[in-house]
Amino acid sequence: MRRSISVVAIAVFIAGVQSANAIDIESLFGHTVRIEGEYPERALKLDDRELHRNAILHFDELVIVDSIPALIGSSSNGGNACDASPFVISFSTGGKPRFDGPIEGCAQIGREVFEDKVVFSTNNIPGKGREQWSWTPAGGLKELGVVAFVPEDQSGWQALRERAFEHPSACDL
């Protein structure tokens, strides 16, 4: 069973500080998480320690995996050649927070959250397949390799006639 908490809905104090130059989560599992600075020099900080720096940084989703809260975010160099790549900050009970990622890739990377892991993957492309990575609280981020392309049943001519699918830009990541 997937349990997820929207970052917007969690009961933390979120403030846009210094004229929107910072995103500040004052208390997230006993830690302060900040994105500060201006484009193209944004910095991700945890308890005032810099973890990562890039032009564009976002917090995307807060999830619970194996009873461990994890904040999933994305990082981009700001150009239009590559999509943003995900990273994970996990908050284990009694331990130090852990930063994994961002994934080294250029393609759009989606995610699927399971009870015991998060699977990140690129789109299923004919002739290329789908690159996949797995994140677990114990093992961190691991590359799973490429899964061969398999056509999806709903993408044939019948689905086109029935309008049973949407344009990829309408998909919810």
pLDDT tens column, 112-161: 999 999 999 999 888 899 999 999 999 999 999 999 988 776 666 777 77
Contact 75, 56 (CB under 8 A): yes
Instruction: Find out whether 132 and 120 touch, Cβ atoms under 8 Å.
Output: yes
The encoded tokens of residue 3 equal: 């349990």
pTM of the model: 0.77
Whether the CB-CB separation of 115 and 2 falls below 8 Å is answered with: yes
Q: Please state, for a pLDDT cut of 70, what percent of the chain lies above it.
A: 78
pLDDT at 121: 96
pLDDT (average), residues 94-107: 93
Asked if residues 78 and 93 have their Cβ atoms less than 8 Å apart, the reply is no
The model's confidence at residue 60, banded by pLDDT at 50, 70 and 90, is very high
